[in-house]
Amino acid sequence: MVSSKITPVFSLVAFAAIHSLTASLPFKRLIIRAAGPRAEKLYLPAYSFISVLTILPLAYQLYKNPGRVLYKIPSPWRWLMVGGQLIAGVLAPLAFRDAPHRFKINSQLSGPQDSESDSLKIRGIYRWVRDPFLLSGLLGIWLTPFMTVNLLIIYLLTTVYLFLGSLHWETRLVAQFGDEYREYQKKVHRMIPGLKGSVTESE
């Protein structure tokens, strides 16, 4: 019983450690030195592949040992929740599409940019929410139409990890874009679309 709870937690911690390491600036500096100019094109696909690969053991363990069922949402509400999860699944690709400049390794390593091409560009979903990845992740897990003990433990820990990751990511963005991003933070909420308002699209 205890091991069925500890093993998924260990897998989540291992995933978080690998995920955080491969997203860190020291690791990206290493990638730049090893791959040179190709790093910009190679990093994101490789990072995504590693993320999927390292989350599979956790998914398998939760599938094999979900734990005691706490609740199941009946229809039609369960389908509304699944619909919300599908919407959440669209947010992450939109976030990548609307702000590819935020994920450039060289820009992250060099700090606030002076050139217009490297300035903060507010487009699409970022007009209403600063961290669509956080929003997508929380909607994706908490709109699950059933809950078990092991799922609840993992979801609570994942929520903490996502919030801490969002805080760290925004610290990185402040370092990358400086006062431009600080002004943006004042106008747009981190996770709740439109709570503070919205901003106009920038070129």
Q: What is the pLDDT of residues 122-172, one digit of tens each?
A: 889 999 999 999 999 999 999 999 999 999 999 999 999 999 999 999 998
Q: With contact defined as beta carbons under 8 Å apart, do 185 and 126 qualify?
A: no
Q: With contact defined as beta carbons under 8 Å apart, do 8 and 150 qualify?
A: yes
Say whether both 109 and 132 belong to one domain: yes
Give the closest residue to 63 by CA, choosing from 136, 126, 4: 4
Say whether both 5 and 43 belong to one domain: yes
Q: What is the overall mean pLDDT for the chain?
A: 87
Task: Give Cβ neighbours of residue 120 (< 8 Å, ≥ 6 apart).
Answer: 101, 177, 180, 181, 184, 202
Instruction: Convert the pLDDT of each residue in 7-35 to its tens digit.
Output: 889 999 999 999 999 888 888 888 888 88
Average pLDDT over residues 77-93: 93
Which pLDDT value is given to residue 33? 86
156 found inside a domain: no
Residue 117 has pLDDT above 50, yes or no: no
Residue 114 has pLDDT above 90, yes or no: no
Distance, CA of 102 to CA of 28 (rounded, Å): 14
Q: pTM value?
A: 0.87
**Residue 44 belongs to domain spanning:** 1-65
Q: Looking at per-residue confidence, does 1 or 110 come out higher?
A: 110
Distance, CA of 123 to CA of 94 (rounded, Å): 10
Helices (H), the chain: 2-23, 25-35, 39-64, 77-98, 105-110, 132-142, 149-177, 179-187
Q: How confident is the model at residue 111 (pLDDT cuts 50, 70, 90)?
A: low
10 found inside a domain: yes
Residue 190 has pLDDT above 80, yes or no: yes
162 found inside a domain: no
